[in-house]
Structure 1
Amino acid sequence: MAMGDSKVCVFCEIAKGERPAHVVMDAPDAMAFLDTRPLFKGHTLLIPRVHYETLTDLPGEMLGPFFGHAQRLAAAMESVLEAAGSFVAMNNRISQSVPHLHVHIVPRDRKDGLRGFFWPRQKYASEAEAADYATRLSTAVPTP
């Protein structure tokens, strides 16, 4: 599905009001609504109104405003739901259940049962291998 193309996208249908959702935030550029399968009550999904599949598809000028919404939603988890903190995450392609960019903002409390990431951690074989990965990545990431 191309950027801006919303055919058969559940999140685009929600943004257009064609599918019901428990709306948390309704802004001209983005929308947030409760996840229908929450990790914890209050688990919210933030989406751009225009269809972008992944974070790399989101235009640079939208990054600040979009993550400003995420920041305000994370603050609301603490102020309104009295959560001790929040978990803010997104998937790009892998494990992305709906192919429309979305950020999960989940209220968190100590000992709530959510144990970090749900996949095994790996170690670098050596400091040299870690340095090699860092160098390879840094050459691909331009400095703003």
Structure 2
Amino acid sequence: MSSRMASCIFCKIIKGDIPCFKLYESEKTLAFLDINPLSRGHALVIPKFHGEKLTDIPDDHLTELLPIAKKLALATGAKEYNILQNNGRGAHQEVDHVHFHMIPKPNPEEGLGISWPQQTTDTDKLKALYEEIKQKL
């Protein structure tokens, strides 16, 4: 085990070294309540495979994450909610282990607040970007 994994709070939760309010567990996935929730029912869904960013996780360890987030949204009775997954400090990731948040949004004060700084672009720039990305897929 790498020292990164050894010090990872989510890996410690997976191993059972740190307790959690476990909502779901399978061979590859764990879901539990967030201990610093933004709203009632805020939960985390994580792959048991340690990887810092989404691109570090093998595809077969990702298959359950969104279906479990969906089940959590239904189980909490959230009518409105956010599914959030951050990659890197600049993108607001605080724990270096991939995790998806299921955050109920019961009212304007609770849940996730978002700033959406839209940028203007033009068709030629979008077409060039489209071609660049399409070539790499």
Query: Shorter chain as normaliser: what TM range?
Result: 0.7 to 0.9
Which of 80, 84, 93 is 2:88 aligned to? Answer: 93
Partner of residue 127, structure 1: 123
CA contact (8 A) 1:43 1:106 kept: yes
What is the correspondence of 1:43-54 to structure 2 with a 5 Å cutoff?
A: 43-54=42-53
Secondary structure in structure 2 of the residue aligned to 1:104: strand
Aligned-pair identity (%): 32
Secondary structure in structure 1 of the residue aligned to 2:6: coil
Task: Tell me the TM-score normalised to structure 2 length.
Answer: 0.83
Which of 131, 136, 139 is 2:132 aligned to? Answer: 136
Secondary structure in structure 1 of the residue aligned to 2:37: coil
Partner of residue 19, structure 2: 20
> In the superposition, relative to structure 1, how do residues 134 and 31 fare at CA in structure 2: closer, same or farther (>3 Å)?
same
Q: CA deviation at 1:67?
A: 2.6
Are 2:40 and 1:41 equivalent residues in the alignment? yes
> In the superposition, relative to structure 1, how do residues 34 and 115 fare at CA in structure 2: closer, same or farther (>3 Å)?
closer
Are 2:103 and 1:106 equivalent residues in the alignment? yes
- The alignment's C-alpha RMSD in Å is 2.4
Q: CA deviation at 1:66?
A: 2.8
Unaligned runs of 5+ in 1: none
Letter in 2 for 1:100: H
Partner of residue 114, structure 2: 117
> In the superposition, relative to structure 1, how do residues 135 and 88 fare at CA in structure 2: closer, same or farther (>3 Å)?
same
Task: Tell me the TM-score normalised to structure 1 length.
Answer: 0.79
Q: CA deviation at 1:114?
A: 5.4
Secondary structure in structure 2 of the residue aligned to 1:56: helix
Partner of residue 75, structure 1: 74
Secondary structure in structure 1 of the residue aligned to 2:82: strand
> In the superposition, relative to structure 1, how do residues 65 and 115 fare at CA in structure 2: closer, same or farther (>3 Å)?
closer
More helix by share: 2
